[in-house]
Structure 1
Amino acid sequence: MTSPPGDSDHGSGSAREPEPLVCARCGARAEAPQPTWACSVENGTRYYFCDRCSRESLTAIEGRLDSAWW
């Protein structure tokens, strides 16, 4: 779990290196936001999921829906 740059209130005024995104499920890392990654906010905490984990989760969710939903 990481936050994008500028997402904290440290107030030091110094530029920080952006932290890499880390997939909350498999631990894959990305140095910059990826358009295929998913972001989820759960209980006020931001979680990122890589494209593979996002796709697997979506498939599992869709598999539990009645056909009327899709």
Structure 2
Amino acid sequence: MHHTCARCGQQAETDDLPITWMTSVENGRRLAYCDRCARDNVRSIEGKLDSAWW
């Protein structure tokens, strides 16, 4: 199963989650964000803001 970025829809090239990607748990769901989206929104992710706000 390829992982898909919850923000932009980019798919990982391998079945394993790339180490440059970030994960977040929102409403009991584990979401993955590609390196670009994670870098652009790291402060919001670390602040535990719901992705609807960023």
Same fold (TM over 0.5): yes
RMSD: 1.4
Aligned length, in residue pairs: 42
> Which consecutive unaligned segments of at least 5 residues does structure 1 have?
1-18, 63-70
TM-score of the two chains, using structure 1 as the length reference: 0.55
TM-score of the two chains, using structure 2 as the length reference: 0.70
Spell out structure 1 runs of 4+ moving beyond 6 A: none
Counterpart for residue 40 of structure 1: 24
Counterpart for residue 40 of structure 2: 56
> Which consecutive unaligned segments of at least 5 residues does structure 2 have?
45-54
Whose radius of gyration is greater, 1 or 2? 1
Q: Percent identity?
A: 45
